[in-house]
Structure 1
């Protein structure tokens, strides 16, 4: 047996707890019946560890690698404990619309043999349809904080019967952008955290792939004092089934290198992660012009468009998905073979989440990361987080392009321009403002129809005669 086959067999053995079955975990008969009919017998490690304390009514913090079944870990016990006669008794918060929709679909699938139904509450979709969904069932509400707060403020979503409160991907949910929303939601839930569910209290569950000390401390402030932490991550957070490589590249050569990789290596299904929405758009446009089967996924797309992109990607009608981190949060597609980090993230935990999009359920995966000369320390930080050395990928077929003139000048004089690097398409200009760089003649005509292309950044103030009010 090859080394890769041995590793895959070992990973699958680690993933599932063969010493127990779902029937041993105290789940309801209907839930077990549905799991058996679907061919599930043995739980994963996080499921075997987390389900019993949740069934016992404890508040739980669960941490496990991406792709190990965390949704089922909290979903199965909640489905087992829910009362089919009470609506909106469980609330699951997710950081993105895509993850919320995905979790809702998985809960409905897990509970197919029960009378418990899920309603998904997210922005970009019809409030009227979501209200009807809650009226027809809505035992479990899965949503993003903004839409949940909105419907609650309108009197269309009551928190009075919520007994099960779950935060998925808690590390991102408790980021600055979500923290206050979560506080408001939790404060508006009447059920007390210091009482058990059987006495009208609230049970709280937090799950995530990564969690530092500060995040855990914050999570515990929302939970009972005896909240239990369960982790199946031993030592490092590396996704063991992912072959991790890096490719050194200058910023202005990234798109050419990406194209060469995709054409030469022919990865089956690939997600390319970019740092910004603008970069996602430009990279996708560039690859489409090269006749590659590419779609983009980022926050600037309307929700209906994002849904169509995800549907096509899941049905394997798209070879390459160019995505931002937030839009791809919770991207759970089994057939992803490669992840390419077009931009190396500054936060090593984001890297862990990204590469976890491949190697799902014990399959092998590949992660290729572009690293610019000044990002050596960032790569080292990622290696520390991953607990593994990321080796250099030799790619002699790629020939770097010429160094841009402004970079040559900077290197010659040793004087850096004041402004930060700015992505302008084919290359990143180190400082300054070069509106024409990286754009085609047609693109420039569309942006500047009068033919006057600016050579300097606009002034900070635009000369408005109106004074701003103090805030």
Structure 2
């Protein structure tokens, strides 16, 4: 695999979509949308993809990857190519988002894109597939289900595209991906697109691709995050996080804010807290009914929401252009998740802001994120924010923990010596000569005795 590397300044201003080989129908669509120049990933991936070769592409979230793989599919396929392209994505929201974007890009073609995913009636999706759409965008589980039922023939697929491969592997789709790719026995084109390329992704590419071209479209500094995102972290005690978040939202000009939490319980708790503070906030996570999730997403796109609080998995389909701020309320334990989170802002060349709440115990996680992204994240402090007192329950828990550690340390000590009590010191047999120890000696060997062992 050769790995040409390009500097990412978001747009390749030296080229137009006509220059990179798109047909007139697609040129008309991108012009209608308002695109003038392709992004770097688009200008490098699209010409390669149109030639029909396999591609392993790496580019940051928010750099135009959907159009980078979607436009070549629309350019290659013809109206007679029913089920000609299969695009696998990690979540239902992303399936809906990608299919909708391809419908816009293919407005002046006769090609149709259909999203298929869990959470919607399978009969509804079967009816859509019976209309023989050219492009299928789906989550791996539902794709396999519909294939097994005989409604999604793998032998018609000309192009297989995996979007956000790293996230699909993270959330447990590795076996499904292998089964789907292994089921494509005919000659076809395969494209992987991901923000990060792990060894496991390279192994998948080696097994299921034919001499793929690898594109690593990151900046010359090697940073995985878009330079238009201003990143800062805020040191905070765990019990002050809610108050600090509210302080941020009322003191900063954050038009549309996306807040990430680690658990669904935290998402709901934080949403209730902000709503009580008269902040227009909504929650989105895996337990939310599909109809409610769709409603929240529509409100977000319509600009009716100022704050959306999300879990990582539910956020994968949030591809809304006007998100201005991303707040990492909980620091992700996997640094790659941080890359995906802050990629929700600064889309397609816009500027954005990313803040991260870091508790005293999470310094190592911050360092790991800086190491992966190759960016030093500066501190952001609020002198007018007054930290609250340590809660009694936290104080008591810490005291119990300190006592437990001290007891464990004493139990394992090799130099622990019991000082004789007054009764024991009167025993002449134990202390001949009447010399009774009152404490430990000033100097002790501590077990460090020179031996012949090397």
Q: Same fold (TM over 0.5)?
A: yes
Distance 1:288 1:39 in 2: 37
Post-superposition offset of 1:378: 0.7
Aligned mate of 2:364, from 367, 377, 396: 377
Larger Rg: 2
Q: Could you say what secondary structure the match of 1:328 adopts?
A: helix
* Structure-1 residue corresponding to 2:27: 32
1:29 to 1:417, Cα distance in 2 relative to 1, 3 A: farther
1:357 to 1:176, Cα distance in 2 relative to 1, 3 A: closer
Distance 1:15 1:181 in 2: 33
* Structure-1 residue corresponding to 2:207: 221
Distance 1:190 1:412 in 2: 63
Distance 2:283 2:195 in 1: 25
Q: State yes or no: 1:356 paired with 2:351.
A: no
Q: State yes or no: 1:104 paired with 2:77.
A: no
Aligned mate of 1:207, from 171, 190, 193: 193
* Structure-1 residue corresponding to 2:114: 119
Contact 1:104–1:142 (8 Å) recurs in 2? yes
Q: State yes or no: 1:233 paired with 2:228.
A: no
* Structure-2 residue corresponding to 1:88: 83
- 1:200-224, CA deviations, whole angstroms, 9 ceiling, x for partnerless residues? x110000011112332233332211
1:318 to 1:165, Cα distance in 2 relative to 1, 3 A: same
Distance 1:99 1:298 in 2: 14
- 1:357-378, CA deviations, whole angstroms, 9 ceiling, x for partnerless residues? 1111222111111101011111
Q: Name structure 2 gaps, 5 residues minimum.
A: 1-6, 406-454
Q: CA-atom RMSD, angstroms? A: 1.8
* Structure-1 residue corresponding to 2:314: 327
Q: State yes or no: 1:165 paired with 2:151.
A: no
Q: Name structure 1 gaps, 5 residues minimum.
A: 1-11, 192-200, 419-471
Aligned mate of 1:409, from 379, 383, 396: 396
1:78 to 1:417, Cα distance in 2 relative to 1, 3 A: farther
1:266 to 1:45, Cα distance in 2 relative to 1, 3 A: closer
* Structure-1 residue corresponding to 2:430: none
Distance 1:213 1:159 in 2: 27
Greater RCO between the two (CA within 8 Å, min separation 6)? 2
Q: State yes or no: 1:264 paired with 2:251.
A: yes
Distance 2:372 2:387 in 1: 30
Post-superposition offset of 1:414: 4.8
Q: Could you say what secondary structure the match of 1:301 adopts?
A: coil
Distance 1:160 1:39 in 2: 37
Aligned mate of 1:22, from 17, 34, 42: 17
Aligned mate of 1:189, from 174, 184, 188: 184
Distance 2:403 2:11 in 1: 54
Q: State yes or no: 1:139 paired with 2:126.
A: no
* Structure-2 residue corresponding to 1:153: 148
Post-superposition offset of 1:70: 0.7
Farther-moved stretch of structure 1 (12-21 vs 204-213): 12-21
